[in-house]
Amino acid sequence: MTAPTLQITHDPGIVWRVGYEPDPWEWTPWRYATAHGLFDGRWDDPRGEFRSLYTTDSLLGCFLELLAHFRPHDVLLSELDDIEDDGTISAFPEAAPGEVGYEWLTGRIYGSAHQRGRYCFITHSRTIATLAPQFPFPVYGIAPDQVDAALLKDASARVLTQAIARWMYDLPGEDRRDLVDGVEFRSRHGDDIRVWAVFERADDDVHTSHLTSFSDTERVAADTPDLLDAFSRLGLRWHDV
């Protein structure tokens, strides 16, 4: 099969992730998947056969992605965000919109690493032009001429974006490697924030093989500068339980 002409980017370089101690870079354990064994991220596998690890090009980007659902806007409270929170949000006491409990900090650490690999830049014009005729959009009630960057950024279109992730996961490259190692996309919270979903492969261990040179981790504190910046941009405040 001839490989589709997707826009492929290479070797992102230094990336960041906020996760849980002791290791924020491990694949999210399957026990945090839904009762059907699935994860809810936009670029997760709808069959539950592989996991996706989400990274960003800045620590600020991590916090914006993780905290956006707390924004004090009723219309946004039901939206899912691009980077899932491992099912832990429901464990925290309820707070008013715009408030975040200090429990959110519990166990959270962050760090950087060097990321390699080949990623499909999903909203690039070349990718969209390739997807429109080759991916079966009519199955999802979408005509090819309706395919655009806005559709691929739509948080409510997860059934579609997860299906696209699976389609790309299975694509063979001309060099007998997998065509892509994941997806590169722009955050819905700003096009200046680059985000990657790295696909888990059969030969991966506790980490993806595309990450090396891990930095020492730091605990997320209430006064972490990038966290305070995210709070300011999202209109958030701390809630004392």
Q: What is the 3-state secondary structure (H, E, C) of 26-92?
A: CCCCHHHCCCCCCCCCCCCCCCCCCCEEEEECCHHHHHHHHHHHHCCCHHHCCCCCCCCCCCCHHHC
Phi, psi of 22 (to 5 degrees): -90, -10
**Residue 3 resides in a domain:** no
- How high is the pLDDT of residue 96? 77
DSSP strands (E only) in the chain:
8-10, 13-20, 52-56, 99-101, 108-115, 118-121, 182-187, 190-199, 211-212, 218-219, 237-239
- How high is the pLDDT of residue 76? 44
- How high is the pLDDT of residue 77? 46
**Residue 189 resides in a domain:** yes
Enclosing domain of residue 180: 8-239
- How high is the pLDDT of residue 241? 62
- How high is the pLDDT of residue 79? 52
49-104, pLDDT tens digit by residue? Answer: 999 999 999 999 999 999 998 988 654 444 545 555 555 544 555 567 789 999 99
- How high is the pLDDT of residue 84? 58
**Residue 232 resides in a domain:** yes
**Residue 2 resides in a domain:** no
Q: Give the total number of structural domains in the chain.
A: 1
Ranges of residues in the chain whose predicted pLDDT is under 50 = 1, 75-78, 80, 89-90
**Residue 160 resides in a domain:** yes
**Residue 1 resides in a domain:** no
- How high is the pLDDT of residue 174? 75
Q: At what angle do helices 225-234 and 59-67 cross, to 10 degrees?
A: 40
**Residue 109 resides in a domain:** yes
**Residue 165 resides in a domain:** yes
- How high is the pLDDT of residue 81? 54
